[in-house]
């Protein structure tokens, strides 16, 4: 007789092998870009193509820093992404908690309007948004790149779902009976319970702000204030298609995203798993 669980033990290595192959498939472009960033431009289009550079060089990275304000672009993108993420997580968690646990007049209509706004493509609102900022004198790069995106409908909806699932009303009522204020309840009770959702939202918000291209293209005119996507596009279009320097810049630009994922991977996985189980 076959012991219970034998089929599961047999299939587990196959699952791991399949997942490893899928992971390698998605990782290969990054590995290829890393090795290609050390190739000369003529070697990038050699046939047959090779992964390992025949004559490695660091001139691509040297040219990147000598000919372009890459450090400035890197700092601008990182500061915008970090500040935007912090504000977004704070605002969305408060709004989502409010929609989930408080009752007020017009709550359902307000939530429906907010939720339906996710169906509006960004290209539809980009021109009216820019005109509104320009006429109010708020189209300055730092303000325009951060403030309009600190309360995304998706983030509020996400935090509302997590608040409904992870925060029992009994805990909130007990804290109120003990005399805790609403913000104290949010800081001491709600925020720790929402940690998986906050981590998932932080990763999503950081990547959106860090990789945004269209909106910075509209509101930023000073080359020293370019974000990394704008800067890499400028390098690509200057003096011909400089694939070698762009690859070097892309590898360096990917570092903050990798760091954020590694730092918040536990919260991200827990958040996704919690959403999958409880939805």
Is residue 37 situated within a structural domain? Answer: no
* 240 within 8 A of 171, measured Cβ to Cβ: no
Is residue 14 situated within a structural domain? Answer: no
| Tally of domains in the chain | 1
- Dist. CA 196–CA 277, nearest whole Å: 13
- What is the distance between the terminal CA atoms of the chain, rounded to a whole angstrom? 39
- Dist. CA 84–CA 205, nearest whole Å: 8
Is residue 214 situated within a structural domain? Answer: yes
**pLDDT for the residue 274:** 58
* 96 within 8 A of 160, measured Cβ to Cβ: yes
Cα-based distances in Å from 196 to 17, 29, 44, 168: 28, 29, 42, 16
- Dist. CA 79–CA 164, nearest whole Å: 32
User: What is the model's pTM?
Assistant: 0.83
Cα-based distances in Å from 95 to 36, 107, 185, 201, 250: 45, 11, 15, 13, 35
Long-range contacts of 252-258 (CB under 8 A, 24+ apart): 252/61, 252/64, 252/70, 252/74, 253/74, 253/77, 253/228, 254/30, 256/77, 256/78, 256/81, 256/206, 256/210, 257/206, 257/207, 257/210, 257/211
**pLDDT for the residue 273:** 63
The verdict on whether omega for the bond into residue 70 sits within 30 degrees of 0, i.e. cis, is no
Is residue 115 situated within a structural domain? Answer: yes
Q: Which two tokens stand for residue 172?
A: 């909130």
CATH number at residue 70: 1.10.3720.10
Q: Which two tokens stand for residue 277?
A: 């189980």
- Dist. CA 162–CA 142, nearest whole Å: 31
**pLDDT for the residue 277:** 47
**pLDDT for the residue 271:** 65
Is residue 157 situated within a structural domain? Answer: yes
Is residue 161 situated within a structural domain? Answer: yes
Centre a 10 Å sphere on the Cβ of residue 88 and count the other Cβ atoms it contains: 24
Centre a 10 Å sphere on the Cβ of residue 60 and count the other Cβ atoms it contains: 22
Q: Which two tokens stand for residue 198?
A: 């906050």
Give the pLDDT means over successive 10-residue stretches in the chain (279 positions).
54 84 86 88 79 84 90 93 93 92 89 88 87 86 87 90 86 88 88 87 90 90 88 81 87 89 76 54
- Domain extent, residue 157, equals 55-278
Is residue 30 situated within a structural domain? Answer: no
Is residue 239 situated within a structural domain? Answer: yes
């Amino acid at each position: 007789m076959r012991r219970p669980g034998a089929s599961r033990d047999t299939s587990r290595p196959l699952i791991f092998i399949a997942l490893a192959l899928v992971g390698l498939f998605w990782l290969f472009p990054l590995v290829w870009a890393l090795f290609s960033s050390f190739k000369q431009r003529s070697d990038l289009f050699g046939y047959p193509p090779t992964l390992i550079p025949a004559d490695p060089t660091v001139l691509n990275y040297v040219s990147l820093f000598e000919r372009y304000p890459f450090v400035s672009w890197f700092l601008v993108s990182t500061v915008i992404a970090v500040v935007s993420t912090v504000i977004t997580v704070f605002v969305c968690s408060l709004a989502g908690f409010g929609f989930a646990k408080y009752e007020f007049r017009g709550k359902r209509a307000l939530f429906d309007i907010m939720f339906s706004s996710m169906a509006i493509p960004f290209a539809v609102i980009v021109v009216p948004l820019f005109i509104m900022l320009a006429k109010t004198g708020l189209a300055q790069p730092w303000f325009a790149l951060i403030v309009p995106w600190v309360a995304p409908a998706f983030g509020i909806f996400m935090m509302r779902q997590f608040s409904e699932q992870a925060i029992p009303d009994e805990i909130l009522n007990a804290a109120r009976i003990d005399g805790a204020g609403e913000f104290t309840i949010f800081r001491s009770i709600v925020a720790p319970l929402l940690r998986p959702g906050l981590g998932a939202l932080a990763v999503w918000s950081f990547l959106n702000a860090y990789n945004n291209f269209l909106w910075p293209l509209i509101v930023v005119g000073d080359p020293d204030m370019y974000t990394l996507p704008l800067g890499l596009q400028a390098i690509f279009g200057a003096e011909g298609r400089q694939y070698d320097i762009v690859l070097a810049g892309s590898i360096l630009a990917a570092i903050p995203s990798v760091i954020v994922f590694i730092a918040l991977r536990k919260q991200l996985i827990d958040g996704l798993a919690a959403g999958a189980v409880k939805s």
